[in-house]
A and B are shown apart, each in its own frame.
Chain A
Amino acid sequence: MGITRRKLLKNTAAIGAAAGLAGCSNQIRDLLGNSSHAPIRPLSGRIGAVMRVIDRTTFGPTPELPETVSAMGIETFVHQQLNAALPMDDALKLALARLDIFCIDSAELRDLPEGEIVNQLKQAALLRAVFDPNQLQERMVDFWSNHFNIYARKRYEAWRKPTDDVEVIRKHALGSFPNLLYASAKSPAMLEYLDNDSNKAGTANENYARELMELHTLGVDGGYTQRDVQEVARCFTGWTIENRFLHPRGTFRFDESVHDDQEKTVLGQRIPPGGGISDGERVLEILAFHPSTARHIAKKLCTYFLGESDNRMVENVSQTYLQTHGDIKSILKTVLLSKALMESPPIVKRPFDFVASALRAVDANSDCGRAVQKHLDDMGQSIFEWPMPDGFPVDAASWSGSLLARWNFASELAFNRIPGTNLNLTQLKQLSTLPLVKTMRQITLGLREGGIPTNVSEEMFLALCLSSPEFQWR
């Protein structure tokens, strides 16, 4: 007959939900217990599709978002998110405007202590992940911030990263990958992080060249050799940071006097002598349009949005990349409006995702200041402080040790014990036409009945929802 297990599960879940039969949920749970992935499976039907799209496109549903998306339709919602033109509300604008890193000139930022700048970077990222209506843009900011990871506590990075955040990551988050790559290559934050600022003819520093190919573009199996690393490093000699008297300090500068102007060969392509700054630019162009780069980016995006990346999907996405010359919106459309999105397995939330989704789920008001950030640190994801160029890991195993810290955060949030963060229960209950228990179930568990006890205080109920195994996945 060919009734697959997936179909069986879908049907059972649908019946269970429709009829509200508590008995069915145990059966489902038993079946799901065998899954090595997650305690939940995507629900069928319209609401299942809506929740899935919200979970993957955003940092998680707010109490009212499912109804909003239901009303406008999934496709409209995805296009709205791709356009990223929704206005921020005044509270968010105000909160961001209070942050020095976005209103002081980067040269003047030097007057602020490193720790303060790093805190503000974290605060801004959290505020926007939680409150910015352009959620997909924020998810892509998270994605690219890790793809082009910069450790904000290396040397002067704290003072350089805010510009990188605005001018490189945010500017191109939903733009063109080649432009993002070009901007990153000339970003003082990146030049310093991967030591290209000290890459000089004769003693070429391979650090940037290696990570550029291994992490930013081709991927470790992308077909380059150690020889290519050395040649690329030579091409980037002299790409440095302005530090001369009466010059705009801290900006990009090409220092011709330390550039290796001999001939080079990169991935089989000859780079003639005398090219100057165009050597590096030519390398970036070769890399940006290389099929291995298309595949590498496709694979990472599929992992990020779909969890598992099956080869056919990666192939589709990398075709879109090549056809559109790396247009990020087109690539994302291929991923987000695919059938694969609906069928893909659950993905574990990294601590940053978890914190943002929890604050959204209970419609908390938060300054996302040190108190919230401390919780995030306890879970092991101090954003902007991942020292290695590969960015925070995405696999579930890396984060399986963070549960106790997640439970503690869930409880402090639900019982209103986080300074600077406020949960208004009365208001929360008015946000949705459904009763609180149903709203929270929809948000945290799909439509599955049971699991969370309801004979507890409302605060405890919320704490348990956010602590549940189900809420750790999207």
Chain B
Amino acid sequence: MNWCDEYAMISRRALFGTVSCAVLGTKALSQIVLNKKGTEHTLVVVFLRGGMDGLSAVAPFGEDAYYQSRPTLALRKNDLHNLDGFFGLHPALSKLIPSFAEGRVAIVHAAGSQDSSHSHFEAMNAMERGVATAEESTGNGWLARYLNATRTDHDSALRAVAFSPVMPDSLRGGTNCVAIESLSEYRLRNEQMKPHLAAMYANGSDLMTRSGRESLRVLQMLERSRMDAYRPENGAVYPDSDFAQALKQVAFLVKSDFGLEIACLERGGWDTHVAQGTTSGWLASQLSDLGDSLAAFDRDIARIRRRVTVVVMTEFGRRAYENSGLGTDHGSASLMFVIGEGLHGGKVHGEWPGLSEEKLSGPGDLKVTTDYRAVLRTILQVRMRSQAAAAKVFPTAPPLSFQLFNGRSTNP
């Protein structure tokens, strides 16, 4: 079975794509830089494109059905890092173990959307718009709705940055966006054009004119603080991958106090229809880059951890059964990672639906027991301190059935 290898390739593209997109306000630079009234929190949204196999990343070694449905691909208990006596972390994610142990990583297993199309496009589309299924007509992205709902008169010019070749659907319809190939290359090659561009783009409310003005503001902001000179802290070493390099740029932006609220990153290569491997192989190398990059980021931002939350999501998980090509086909539930402080972390959350045949749905899928929107809404409410906006962004999301955050910052 070789359903859609185009996805293995999308990955390649997404891997080298390090284009960002900045969503900006409309205030003068002086106000922007001085502005400290924003949330002062940055939400880093990592989208794993292609459908990440949650059953390998955090494997239910405590369930026999796991080994029955995946005689070749199931991870052996001895190879896993035992998280709680039932679930084990894939060895390629071992760099995340310290953060997990310190309570900064929460795993929400069997999370996903209600989209049953098994189509990447439909499922991603639903998730990026923040709706239950792609049929829902809401046109704009969930992060765009967040930005629109929390807009003020003194917003930073750099509220949101995304890393993708074209604007991701999650930011579609929000405030305008500016693509940034990479922060250090985000510069005007002919400086003498600048005053003329400023004049040409000074007026006009059309989309291109507005985004031209915003590009100029971002250029001006980035002149004050150059990415080239950035050195990660605490001996953090980022891998060479584009994903890791994008995370490093996020760390730089957060530390530069640009008022960054949203960073959108993506990483492809998860569509493992063929030969996905176990402790080594394609999936393991994917997970290893993911884990190493996130661990480096967590280390780098130690000083400002209270201001950053990372959420990792994917459009769907893989089928419970392995296929004849020693890979797995499109399924339903996968999992989400939430990384940050104040979390009820070091724990695998969510009701486990089970893998025995009668408990699977559709063509053999792990059932979704936690709606991904419930997790995102809780993060917006608690970390982005935006009760009203969270309700606007996800008006119909069901409540979260467990406590994701500690202490007073409880769930709704």
Using a CB–CB cutoff of 8 Å, the interface residues on chain A facing chain B are 29-30, 32-39, 151, 153-155, 193-195, 198, 203, 205-207, 210, 348, 378, 380, 382, 385, 387-390, 392-393, 396-405, 407-408, 411-412, 415, 451-453, 456, 460, 463-464, 467-469, 472-473
> Is the Cβ of A398 less than 8 Å from the Cβ of B189?
no
Interface residues of B in 159-205 (CB under 8 A from A): 165-167, 172-173, 176-181, 186, 188-190, 192-193, 196-197, 199-201, 203-205
Interface residues of B in 88-124 (CB under 8 A from A): 119-121
> Is the Cβ of B3 less than 8 Å from the Cβ of A387?
no
B5 at the interface (CB under 8 A from A): yes
**Shortest Cβ distance from A146 into chain B, in angstroms?**
13
> Is the Cβ of B181 less than 8 Å from the Cβ of A397?
no
B229 at the interface (CB under 8 A from A): no
A387/B188 contact (C-beta < 8 A), A396-B207, A397-B172, A401-B178 known: no
- Give the nearest-CB partner of B325 in chain A: A198
> Is the Cβ of A469 less than 8 Å from the Cβ of B173?
no
> Is the Cβ of A400 less than 8 Å from the Cβ of B200?
no
Contacts of B192 in A (CB 8 A): 460
* Choice from B9, B177, B200 contacting A464 with Cβ under 8 Å: B200
7 chain-A/chain-B pairs, Cβ below 8 angstroms: A32-B204, A35-B205, A36-B207, A401-B179, A467-B200, A469-B201, A469-B212
> Is the Cβ of B188 less than 8 Å from the Cβ of A408?
yes
B209 at the interface (CB under 8 A from A): yes
Contacts of A408 in B (CB 8 A): 188-190
Contacts of B19 in A (CB 8 A): 380, 401
B219 at the interface (CB under 8 A from A): yes
Contacts of A402 in B (CB 8 A): 179
> Is the Cβ of B203 less than 8 Å from the Cβ of A38?
no
**Shortest Cβ distance from B125 into chain A, in angstroms?**
10
A154/B6 contact (C-beta < 8 A), A404-B179, A404-B215, A460-B192 known: yes
A194, A195, A400, A463 interface centre (most CB from chain B within 10 Å): A400
> Is the Cβ of B3 less than 8 Å from the Cβ of A33?
no
Given contacts A38-B208, A400-B211, 11 further A-B contacts (CB under 8 A): A38-B206, A154-B9, A155-B9, A195-B2, A195-B3, A205-B3, A387-B9, A388-B6, A389-B6, A396-B207, A408-B190
> Is the Cβ of A195 less than 8 Å from the Cβ of B4?
yes
Contacts of A389 in B (CB 8 A): 6
**Shortest Cβ distance from B292 into chain A, in angstroms?**
25
**Shortest Cβ distance from B328 into chain A, in angstroms?**
15
* Choice from B2, B13, B177, B219 contacting A387 with Cβ under 8 Å: B13
> Is the Cβ of B212 less than 8 Å from the Cβ of A403?
yes
* Choice from A154, A205, A348, A415 contacting B1 with Cβ under 8 Å: A205
B10 at the interface (CB under 8 A from A): yes
A194, A378, A399, A456 interface centre (most CB from chain B within 10 Å): A399
> Is the Cβ of A453 less than 8 Å from the Cβ of B196?
yes
Contacts of A154 in B (CB 8 A): 5-6, 8-9
**Shortest Cβ distance from A370 into chain B, in angstroms?**
16
> Is the Cβ of A401 less than 8 Å from the Cβ of B211?
yes
B21 at the interface (CB under 8 A from A): yes
**Shortest Cβ distance from B217 into chain A, in angstroms?**
12
Contacts of A210 in B (CB 8 A): 119
> Is the Cβ of A39 less than 8 Å from the Cβ of B10?
no
Contacts of A34 in B (CB 8 A): 205
Per the bound structure, the CA–CA distance linking A337 and B181 in Å amounts to 40
> Is the Cβ of A207 less than 8 Å from the Cβ of B3?
yes
> Is the Cβ of B186 less than 8 Å from the Cβ of A404?
yes
- Give the nearest-CB partner of B10 in chain A: A387
Per the bound structure, the CA–CA distance linking A403 and B178 in Å amounts to 8
Per the bound structure, the CA–CA distance linking A30 and B205 in Å amounts to 10
Contacts of A397 in B (CB 8 A): 167, 172-173, 177, 207
Contacts of A452 in B (CB 8 A): 200
**Shortest Cβ distance from A405 into chain B, in angstroms?**
7
Contacts of A348 in B (CB 8 A): 207-208
Per the bound structure, the CA–CA distance linking A399 and B165 in Å amounts to 10
* Choice from A38, A378, A390, A398 contacting B167 with Cβ under 8 Å: A398
* Choice from B165, B193, B201 contacting A411 with Cβ under 8 Å: B193
B226 at the interface (CB under 8 A from A): no
B12 at the interface (CB under 8 A from A): yes
> Is the Cβ of B193 less than 8 Å from the Cβ of A464?
yes
Total interface residues on B, using CB and 8 Å?
A: 52
Contacts of B166 in A (CB 8 A): 380, 392-393, 398-399, 401
> Is the Cβ of B193 less than 8 Å from the Cβ of A467?
yes
Contacts of B193 in A (CB 8 A): 407, 411, 460, 463-464, 467
Contacts of A37 in B (CB 8 A): 206-207
Contacts of A151 in B (CB 8 A): 6, 9-10
**Shortest Cβ distance from A122 into chain B, in angstroms?**
15
- Give the nearest-CB partner of B185 in chain A: A378
Per the bound structure, the CA–CA distance linking A320 and B407 in Å amounts to 66
Per the bound structure, the CA–CA distance linking A388 and B193 in Å amounts to 36
Contacts of A382 in B (CB 8 A): 165
- Give the nearest-CB partner of B22 in chain A: A401
- Give the nearest-CB partner of B49 in chain A: A387
Per the bound structure, the CA–CA distance linking A393 and B200 in Å amounts to 27
Per the bound structure, the CA–CA distance linking A378 and B17 in Å amounts to 10
A153/B215 contact (C-beta < 8 A), A405-B179, A415-B190, A453-B196 known: no
**Shortest Cβ distance from B172 into chain A, in angstroms?**
6
- Give the nearest-CB partner of B134 in chain A: A220
**Shortest Cβ distance from B171 into chain A, in angstroms?**
9
A401/B177 contact (C-beta < 8 A), A39-B206, A464-B196 known: yes
**Shortest Cβ distance from A452 into chain B, in angstroms?**
7
**Shortest Cβ distance from B360 into chain A, in angstroms?**
18
> Is the Cβ of A403 less than 8 Å from the Cβ of B204?
no
Contacts of B2 in A (CB 8 A): 195, 198, 205
Per the bound structure, the CA–CA distance linking A404 and B215 in Å amounts to 7
> Is the Cβ of A407 less than 8 Å from the Cβ of B167?
no
> Is the Cβ of B179 less than 8 Å from the Cβ of A380?
yes
Per the bound structure, the CA–CA distance linking A456 and B200 in Å amounts to 14
* Choice from B165, B189, B203, B215 contacting A29 with Cβ under 8 Å: B203
A33/B204 contact (C-beta < 8 A), A195-B3, A404-B179 known: yes
Per the bound structure, the CA–CA distance linking A203 and B325 in Å amounts to 13
> Is the Cβ of A411 less than 8 Å from the Cβ of B189?
yes
Per the bound structure, the CA–CA distance linking A40 and B142 in Å amounts to 32
- Give the nearest-CB partner of B119 in chain A: A210
- Give the nearest-CB partner of B19 in chain A: A380
* Choice from A205, A393, A469 contacting B208 with Cβ under 8 Å: A469
Contacts of B173 in A (CB 8 A): 397
Per the bound structure, the CA–CA distance linking A30 and B204 in Å amounts to 8
Contacts of B7 in A (CB 8 A): 387
Per the bound structure, the CA–CA distance linking A392 and B166 in Å amounts to 9
B1, B10, B211, B219 interface centre (most CB from chain A within 10 Å): B211
Contacts of A460 in B (CB 8 A): 192-193, 196
- Give the nearest-CB partner of A465 in chain B: B200
Contacts of A412 in B (CB 8 A): 189
Per the bound structure, the CA–CA distance linking A456 and B193 in Å amounts to 10
Per the bound structure, the CA–CA distance linking A68 and B41 in Å amounts to 59
* Choice from B3, B181, B209, B211 contacting A39 with Cβ under 8 Å: B209
> Is the Cβ of A400 less than 8 Å from the Cβ of B9?
no
Contacts of B167 in A (CB 8 A): 397-398, 400-401
> Is the Cβ of A404 less than 8 Å from the Cβ of B188?
yes
**Shortest Cβ distance from A222 into chain B, in angstroms?**
15
- Give the nearest-CB partner of B195 in chain A: A453
Per the bound structure, the CA–CA distance linking A415 and B191 in Å amounts to 13
B1-36 to A contact mask, C-beta < 8 Å, 1/0: 111111111101100000101100000000000000
Per the bound structure, the CA–CA distance linking A247 and B9 in Å amounts to 29
Contacts of B219 in A (CB 8 A): 404
A32, A385, A401, A463 interface centre (most CB from chain B within 10 Å): A401
Per the bound structure, the CA–CA distance linking A202 and B358 in Å amounts to 23
* Choice from B13, B179, B199, B211 contacting A453 with Cβ under 8 Å: B199
